[in-house]
Amino acid sequence: MTRRFSASLLLAATLGGCVSPGPRVPKPVAAAVTPPAAWRTDLQPGGPVTADWWTGFGDPALTALVAQALANNVDIAIAAGRVEEARAAEALSRAQLSPQVGGSLPETQGQTLSPFGTPSRAIGTQPVITASYDLDLFGRLRLASRAARAQLLASEGARDTVRLATAASAASGYVVLRALDQRLQIARETLAARSDALRIARRRYEAGYSSRLEYRQSQAEYASTQQLVPAAHLAITRQENALSLLVGDVPGPIARGVPINRLRLPAIPDGLPASLLRQRPDIFQAEQTLVAADLSLDSQRAAFLPNIALTGSVGLVLSTALSNPVGVFSLGASGLAPIFDAGRLRAQENAATARRDQAAFAYRRTALSAFREVDDALAGVQRTGEQATALVEQVNASRGALENARNRYRAGYSSYIEQLDAQRSLLTAELSLVQAESDQLTSFVTLYQAMGGGWRPGTPLSPATDAVSRP
């Protein structure tokens, strides 16, 4: 597995490319974030990788488990709730840009005097419609609305990050479960073989063909293998319970599919460009958080400038004392500007600047972490594959050695210790092979997660087409 990436991604070549600097307070200096030199290649992307990357393992039970986790996971539901909260906040900020219209219908009662001095009771109403509109000459409200939009997109990125992590956890957890099943099967098969060896050792000891030492060694080896079975059962139960919680269900058994040694290794297309990392939901979230922080800073700076609002009202005066209704209206404008606030606005601006700087460095950290995770995953896929290949050869050699040691022992050419060593070597090699196969499959899961969970050429996973950006 070679690391074939294009160096087309400059996630944060200059963070000022995403957001424009404000006056007085400079942006934090950030060096270019470029892919490692080993990723550079001119190869074209290979076959497309679908977003349902877990189907590449060829196990319907795994596919169903991931689908159930994505549908019922509690963390995803919580993240979706946060998205709805951010959507409501964005709608509220947009509403500030529209005129505010209200109305009232007060009723009055009183007494009037006629020309003849006869008092009478008068009842009147005055329906009034009022309207107010903030001209927002300096863009304070518009900037706040765009910042709320960026926060909404950031919350969607956070939700997609949770979904990606849930799918990866379900897939890797299933792989671990199948590895534990394989370990249990190996323990049972080895225990059956040790049971036969113990029976033969007992018969040879009782017949006087072997010493008590060999019989005791056989007993100890049988007991050593026997304890592997309940340990494997315990690990399986805990893993099933963990997966049940992940899929939003009560503890219980998990449906199985194909054995771990029959799970397919998904194909990784050659020449994937490093720009695909921009589609990672956590990078998208960090980018939109930075955009929101910068827009909030600009909105806070606009608060230093005058604010002009228009107000007006129109209504009628209806009364039993009047023969005809009387129309009334008013129109006015108000301008507010800060004169002295004891440094309140300046302190709010400094706080917004600090939050913007934190978001900038958090964006850079997320980009660097993404490169590291992909590099670690690529190395894991390559090295665990090499390890599994070597362990297959070791298992085959250990089986041949055990067969030779068993034949020599039964023929009386060697002691029982040779057969015992061969049995231990085979058991260790088989368990190591299962672990290597599990690590290799888990490395593929980690790689897909590090690359954003799957993609199609030209189709971003996150809603980047609606992303808020700055010139």
- Over residues 383-407, the mean pLDDT reads 91
Task: Take residue 14 and report the two structure tokens written for it.
Answer: 């200059």
Cα–Cα distance measured from residue 314 to residue 294, given in angstroms and rounded to the nearest whole number: 41
> Looking at residue 455, what DSSP letter applies?
B
Task: Take residue 86 and report the two structure tokens written for it.
Answer: 């951010």
| Residue 462 pLDDT level (bands cut at 50, 70, 90) | very low
> For residues 389, 395, 400 and 406, what is the CA-based torsion angle, rounded to 10 degrees?
170
| Residue 150 pLDDT level (bands cut at 50, 70, 90) | confident
- Residue scoring higher pLDDT (357 or 99): 357
Question: Alpha helix locations (H) across 249-320?
Answer: 281-302
Domain boundaries, the chain: 5-94+142-303+356-466, 98-135+304-337
pLDDT digits 0-9 by tens, 13-47: 333 333 333 333 333 333 334 544 444 333 333 33
pLDDT digits 0-9 by tens, 322-356: 556 655 556 655 555 566 666 777 787 777 788 88
Residues 371, 277 contacting (CB under 8 angstroms): yes
| Residue 274 pLDDT level (bands cut at 50, 70, 90) | low
> Does the domain at residues 98-135+304-337 carry the CATH identifier 2.40.50?
no
- SS3 label, residue 114: coil
Residues 447, 373 contacting (CB under 8 angstroms): no
Flag the least confident range among 148-162, 222-236, 336-350, 408-422.
336-350
Residues 6 or more apart whose CB falls under 8 angstroms from that of 468 comprise 146, 149, 150, 153, 288, 291, 292, 295
> Looking at residue 20, what DSSP letter applies?
P
Cα–Cα distance measured from residue 367 to residue 371, given in angstroms and rounded to the nearest whole number: 7
> Taking the alpha carbons of 274, 280, 286, 289 in that order, is the dihedral positive or negative?
positive
Has residue 244 got a pLDDT over 90?
Answer: yes
- Over residues 235-261, the mean pLDDT reads 92
Task: Take residue 460 and report the two structure tokens written for it.
Answer: 């971003």
Residues 17, 363 contacting (CB under 8 angstroms): no
Per cent of the chain over pLDDT 70 is 66
Cα–Cα distance measured from residue 229 to residue 231, given in angstroms and rounded to the nearest whole number: 5
Residues 299, 144 contacting (CB under 8 angstroms): yes
Q: What is the pLDDT of residue 139?
A: 67
**Domain 5-94+142-303+356-466: homologous superfamily in CATH:** Outer membrane efflux proteins (OEP) (1.20.1600.10)
- Over residues 267-279, the mean pLDDT reads 66
Has residue 458 got a pLDDT over 70?
Answer: no
Flag the least confident range among 254-258, 303-307, 444-448.
303-307
Query: What residue type is assigned to position 193 of the chain?
Result: A
Reference 442, options 169, 256, 247, 164; nearest CA is 169
Flag the least confident range among 44-53, 76-85, 143-152, 447-456.
44-53
Q: What is the pLDDT of residue 240?
A: 95
Q: What is the pTM of this model?
A: 0.75
Q: How far apart are the first and last CA of the chain?
A: 40
How many degrees, rounded to 5, is the angle at CA 204 between CA 201 and CA 205? 85
Share the mean pLDDT of the chain: 74
Strand partners, 130: 102, 313
